[in-house]
A = this chain, B = another copy of it.
Amino acid sequence: MADMQLPGEPLRIGLLLFPGFQALDAFGPLDCINVLSRTEGITLSLLSSTLDPVSTTCPEYPGSVGQEILPTHTYAAPPPLDVLLVPGGRGSRGSGPTVLAAIKFIKDTYPRLKYVITVCTGSGLAARAGVLDGKRATTNKMAWKEMMALGPEVQWVSRARWVTDGNIWTSSGVSAGIDVTLAWIGSVFGEEKAKRIADEIEYTRHDDPSCDPFAELYGL
């Protein structure tokens, strides 16, 4: 395969963290990456506006609970990256400074990346960064209309667990991040590796990108 990762070259992966990111949007893909890194050369950076802990908690839901994750790098001093993972969540909405900083980082970093992988409303951030313009992409099905409005130049695909266009992989909501990450691992490191990780985490994959029970559920 043309894009199989060459042995000996560590793949440098970064994930964006912003307040109000959805925990599983990040930790579904990250768990797959963690297991992958036991046998493959991987570096991982968690990037945010500052090095302060980043909470999943959403101010829109007073009294709701969350968790705090430590970033490793700031947007101002990022390491070189080959892959950028963009989670979604309530915190990806609006135009607060942490959202605008994430969008700017995607825009600035994209030209040097080998791959972008978005999960859920993370595709809204990528759309606002302009990197999805003219490309096929998908997103969270419950937030469909809101996301479409953020990317009028994007060819949104409503019935898809995930969509690949060039070097950009976009997935449907939350747990679809596990499926797109395993599919991406299959493409870059080989399908046998992806299957071994899925079996190790006892995950029943959606392995057909066009099979999307949630598009129907949400009337798309």
A interface residues (Cβ-Cβ under 8 A, vs B): 13, 22-24, 26-28, 30-31, 33-34, 37-38, 41-44, 46, 53, 56, 58, 61, 63-70, 140-142, 172-176, 178, 199-204, 206, 213-214, 217
Contact = CB atoms under 8 A, between A and B. Distances in A.
Contact of A56 (B24, B28, B34, B214): B34
Contacts of A176: 202
Given A201-B174, A214-B199, A214-B202, A68 B69 contact: yes
A160 B56 CA distance: 31
A44 B70 contact: no
A34 B30 contact: no
Contacts of A26: 27
Quickly give the copy total for this chain. Answer: 2
Given A38-B64, A204-B206, 19 more contacts: A22-B34, A23-B34, A24-B201, A26-B27, A28-B28, A33-B65, A37-B63, A37-B65, A67-B69, A68-B69, A69-B70, A141-B202, A142-B202, A173-B201, A174-B200, A174-B203, A199-B214, A204-B204, A204-B213
A69 B23 CA distance: 12
A41 B62 CA distance: 11
A33 B61 CA distance: 13
A210 to B, nearest CB: 15
Max count, chain B CB within 10 A of own CB: residue among A23, A41, A46, A206: A23
A43 B22 CA distance: 18
Nearest to A33: B65
20 contacts: A13-B65, A22-B31, A22-B201, A24-B28, A24-B201, A28-B28, A34-B64, A37-B65, A42-B65, A44-B65, A44-B66, A67-B69, A68-B70, A69-B69, A70-B70, A142-B199, A173-B201, A174-B200, A174-B203, A175-B178
Contact of A34 (B37, B38, B66, B141): B66
A206 B199 CA distance: 15
